[in-house]
Structure 1
């Protein structure tokens, strides 16, 4: 028995129409489906909602719920803003830079390009405050993945025991550390 793939990932949004338009206009996603109900199907709870679905490529679906009767959405104050995010893969650096240019032309603040060695990323926020990452593979990605695969269990065990960053893959963010020092 094995999971085949993620069916969809769902987040809350402030405004379904604004959210759909943002992802269509800025990330070139297709709007594929809208479902609206007055009751939650799984629980029967009375709670009107709009549930929208966007095509994030390769059968990956990004969904949002607008919940007009609930208190305004917020963030977990104990989790740093950079932690919770959704990352989308793009073909290559040229595509990544094209999205950066498009987002900035649309008035969206973009952080990066950040060099993660394995891949390169840009970051921005959608209109709901969700952090969005676009990432392209590094040309040496395959070799780096092999190196990381060889040490993953050792790293996890060391972290589990010490709660300190193991140095097995310290090379991964060397360029980023240099930039910030």
Structure 2
């Protein structure tokens, strides 16, 4: 048995129409499906909802639920805002920079470009407050991933024992940390 791929990933949104329009305009995602019912099919609970599906490229689907009868959505107060995010891959750095310019031209506050060595990223928020990351591969991605692959189990084991960041791959953000100092 083996999972084939992610069918879809679903999040809550504040406004279904605004979400479809924003992802279409800002990230060029096509609106591919909507499901709306008055009862939840899995639990049979009476609760009207709108379930949206967007094409995130290459067979990937991003979905949202608008739940008008539920309290306003919030975030887990014990989880930092940078932890929970949706990351999308773009072709290359040129594409990443074009998205950055497009987003900023449309009033979206963008953080980055952040150099993660293996890939480069920008970060921003959608209208519902979900943190979004766009990432492009580094030209040296293949060699860098091999280097990371060689230490992943040692890193996990050390973390499991100590709960402290192992230093096997501290070279990843050395350039970014140097900029900050």
Shorter chain as denominator, the TM-score bin is: over 0.9
Larger mean Cα displacement after TM superposition, 97-106 or 169-178: 169-178
In 2: Cα distance, 1:95 partner to 1:173 partner:
22
- Matched residue count: 181
Q: CA offsets per residue over residues 52-104 of structure 1, 9 Å max, x none? A: 00000010000000000000000000100000000000000000000000000
Q: Secondary structure at the match of 1:165?
A: coil
Q: Secondary structure at the match of 1:43?
A: coil
RMSD: 0.4
TM (norm. structure 1) is 0.99
In 2: Cα distance, 1:103 partner to 1:143 partner:
31
| Corresponding residue of 1:178 | 178
Q: CA offsets per residue over residues 31-61 of structure 1, 9 Å max, x none? A: 0000000000000000000000000001000
| Corresponding residue of 1:13 | 13
Q: CA deviation at 1:180?
A: 1.6
Q: CA deviation at 1:19?
A: 0.4
Q: Secondary structure at the match of 1:179?
A: helix
**Hey, which bits of structure 1, 4+ residues long, moved more than 4 A?**
none
Asked if residue 94 in structure 1 is aligned to residue 102 in structure 2, the reply is no
Q: CA deviation at 1:179?
A: 1.6
Query: Which structure 2 segments of 5+ residues have no match?
Result: none
In 2: Cα distance, 1:95 partner to 1:14 partner:
29
Query: Which structure 1 segments of 5+ residues have no match?
Result: none
Asked if residue 35 in structure 1 is aligned to residue 58 in structure 2, the reply is no
TM (norm. structure 2) is 0.99
Asked if residue 104 in structure 1 is aligned to residue 104 in structure 2, the reply is yes
